[in-house]
Amino acid sequence: MDRRYSALSHLECSRCTARFDSGELHGTCGCGAPLLARYDLAVAAGQVTPADIAGREPSLWRYHELLPVSGPGFVVSFGEGMTPLLPLPRLGRALGVPRLLMKDEGPLPTATFKARGAAVGVSRAAELGAAGVAMPTNGNAGAAWAAYCARAALPFLVAMPADAPLITRSECVATGAETYVVDGLINDAGRMLAPVVGQRPGWQDVSTLKEPYRLEGKKTIGLEIIEQLGWRLPDVIVCPVGGGVGLIGIWKVLAELAELGWIGSGRPRLVAVQAAGCAPIVTAFESGADVTSPWPQARTCAFGLTVPAPLGGFLVLQAVRETGGCAVAVPDADLLAAQARLAHAEGTWICPEGAACLAAVARLRESGWLAETDEVVVLNTGAGLKYPETVPADLPILPPDGWSARATPR
Ligand SMILES: *Cc1c(COP(=O)(O)O)cnc(C)c1O
């Protein structure tokens, strides 16, 4: 049998299961739902083992059989992946969850887990011959795609809300993306871009879940967590959810690993965490709904979670329910307090979206949903450094040798 770099087989609609050729560019299904990449997992199982993977380069491309890019020549990379799975012993003990771990995505290129989706999405768009790609963004996805598109020499058009973190705007401009700033939310930016993309021959709309390959990059978080635990499952994985790509990706790859026979039929309980200022998935989960309703006046400092109408909301709900998980909304004050508590206890300054997961863990332990014996992995999706405004540090400036006048050391 030919050894295949990728075991990609076809695309399948996540709602109506219609089948599509994976050899050409596709957006969503005619029914409006996202398309999912499907693989010849029997071929992959005959070709690669976890032991083979252990000997490969420390990047997400070590899982190339389970990724859509057809050969190493098409890989656009900064060496992303294999981020640390950090134990949080001091904070874990304080929260009553001593087996607390954090998958820390801060060290990725552009400092958020959006780099995973961009690495695989850009590689595949370029491989399939897209003339350019376009997306609305809350900032981090745009920054990541801007970097990878520049590396691939693929033209990139991006529109973001005016109050998206300023650094992400600079990142897009710095890497030469065609960047627009909109007085509105991400869905407004998306509405403005659609006709522009339609007028550009060969361009692709790469909005969240409107193309199938960003999800494939994001699923590698799940692969890494399982590999770093020695191909063993934790009890619970807690994910911040905006568009839901991270959580859906983890759920998807767990099914693929089970089919490969690398894990059993059990699943970690998947917890979706949102900010109270934009929680369409939590509201749907609590009311027993299968789909989300648009969230009015969305607002939170956890900007990556400001997604009022996620296209893949129904998939997040399915993933959470199927695994016996739950959905939790956290007010901004609580997630900022959790961010400070973690930084003081463990020395790591994480983004507000990741901090929301720690606030959720505290709540779920208090309510008894989490047990003291549970092994819990929280996903930190980015570095605190990208959100300097979340920690005010306006300290007095002392004159040289001015201890007594303005301040005294503790
Ligand atoms: C985009 C983003 C999220 C939300 O991720 P989804 O995959 O859209 O659910 C969380 N945290 C950060 C830092 C992000 O940039």
- pLDDT, one tens digit per residue, over 64-89 is 999 999 999 999 999 999 999 999 99
Query: Could you tell me the distance, in angstroms and rounded to a whole number, from the CA of residue 119 to the centre of ligand 1?
Result: 15
Strands of 376-380's sheet, edge to edge? 85-87, 100-104, 376-380, 236-240, 269-275, 326-330
**What are the tens digits of pLDDT across the range 96-129?**
999 999 999 999 999 999 999 999 999 999 999 9
Residue 370 has pLDDT above 90, yes or no: yes
> Which pLDDT value is given to residue 396?
84
Report if residue 269 sits inside a domain.
yes
Number of domains in the chain: 1
> Which pLDDT value is given to residue 408?
76
Query: Could you tell me the distance, in angstroms and rounded to a whole number, from the CA of residue 44 to the centre of ligand 1?
Result: 30
Report if residue 337 sits inside a domain.
yes
Task: Say how far apart CA 101 and CA 270 lie, in whole Å.
Answer: 15
Nearest to 128 by CA among 13, 37, 31, 3: 37
Confidence label for 406 from pLDDT (cuts 50, 70 and 90): low
**What are the tens digits of pLDDT across the range 240-291?**
999 999 999 999 999 999 999 999 999 999 999 999 999 999 999 999 999 9
| Residue 88: partners with Cβ closer than 8 Å, 6 or more residues away | 100, 101, 102, 342, 345, 346
- Six-digit token string for 310: 């996620």
**What are the tens digits of pLDDT across the range 1-42?**
568 999 999 999 999 999 999 999 999 999 999 999 999 999
Query: Quick check: CB of 245 below 6 Å from ligand 1?
Result: yes
Decide if 126 contacts 150 (C-beta within 8 A).
no
- Which residue among 83, 108, 140 is best mutated to probe the pocket of ligand 1, counting the most ligand atoms within 8 A of its Cβ? 140
| Residue 44: partners with Cβ closer than 8 Å, 6 or more residues away | 7, 65, 66, 260
CATH code of the domain covering residue 91: 3.40.50.1100
Report if residue 267 sits inside a domain.
yes
Q: What is the mean pLDDT of residues 132-155?
A: 98
DSSP one-letter code for 324: T
Picking from 171-185, 201-215, 392-406, which range would have the lowest pLDDT averaged per residue?
A: 392-406
- Six-digit token string for 204: 């692709």
Q: In this structure, how many other beta carbons lie within 10 angstroms of the beta carbon of residue 214?
A: 30
Residue 410 has pLDDT above 80, yes or no: no
Query: Quick check: CB of 242 below 6 Å from ligand 1?
Result: yes
> Which pLDDT value is given to residue 233?
98
Query: Quick check: CB of 381 below 6 Å from ligand 1?
Result: yes
Report if residue 396 sits inside a domain.
no
Using CA atoms, how far residue 89 sits from 86, 95, 116, 217, 322, in Å, is 9, 10, 27, 29, 30
How big is the chain, counted in residues? 410
Q: How far is residue 34 CA from its own chain's centroid?
A: 16
Domain of 96, in residue numbers: 85-109+214-390
Q: In this structure, how many other beta carbons lie within 10 angstroms of the beta carbon of residue 362?
A: 20
Handedness of CA 311, 315, 318, 320 (dihedral sign): negative
> Which pLDDT value is given to residue 405?
61
Specify the pTM.
Answer: 0.97
> Which pLDDT value is given to residue 128?
98
> Which pLDDT value is given to residue 217?
98
Side chain identity, residue 92 = G
Query: Quick check: CB of 278 below 6 Å from ligand 1?
Result: no
Q: Are strands 178-182 and 376-380 parallel, antiparallel or unpaired?
A: unpaired
Give percent of the chain above pLDDT 70.
99
Residue in this structure with the two tokens 């295949």, named with its chain if needed? 4
Query: Could you tell me the distance, in angstroms and rounded to a whole number, from the CA of residue 142 to the centre of ligand 1?
Result: 12
Report if residue 101 sits inside a domain.
yes
Q: Whose CA is nearest to atom 2 of ligand 1?
A: 304
Q: How far is residue 301 CA from its own chain's centroid?
A: 17
| 125 φ, ψ (degrees, to nearest 5) | -60, -45
Query: Quick check: CB of 353 below 6 Å from ligand 1?
Result: yes
Confidence label for 399 from pLDDT (cuts 50, 70 and 90): confident
- Six-digit token string for 46: 């005959």
| Average of per-residue pLDDT values in the chain | 96
> Which pLDDT value is given to residue 403?
80
> Which pLDDT value is given to residue 145?
98
Decide if 346 contacts 88 (C-beta within 8 A).
yes
Nearest to 74 by CA among 64, 66, 63: 64
Query: Quick check: CB of 234 below 6 Å from ligand 1?
Result: no
Q: What is the mean pLDDT of residues 126-150?
A: 98
Residue 212 has pLDDT above 70, yes or no: yes
Query: Quick check: CB of 240 below 6 Å from ligand 1?
Result: yes
Task: Say how far apart CA 348 and CA 214 lie, in whole Å.
Answer: 27
Helix, strand or coil, per DSSP, at residue 342: helix
Confidence label for 382 from pLDDT (cuts 50, 70 and 90): very high
| Residue 403: partners with Cβ closer than 8 Å, 6 or more residues away | 409
Report if residue 293 sits inside a domain.
yes
Report if residue 92 sits inside a domain.
yes
> Which pLDDT value is given to residue 397?
85
CA triplet 315, 319, 322: central angle to 5 degrees?
130
Q: Which H or E run includes 357?
A: helix 352-366
DSSP one-letter code for 239: E
Report if residue 2 sits inside a domain.
no
Q: What is the mean pLDDT of residues 297-303?
A: 94
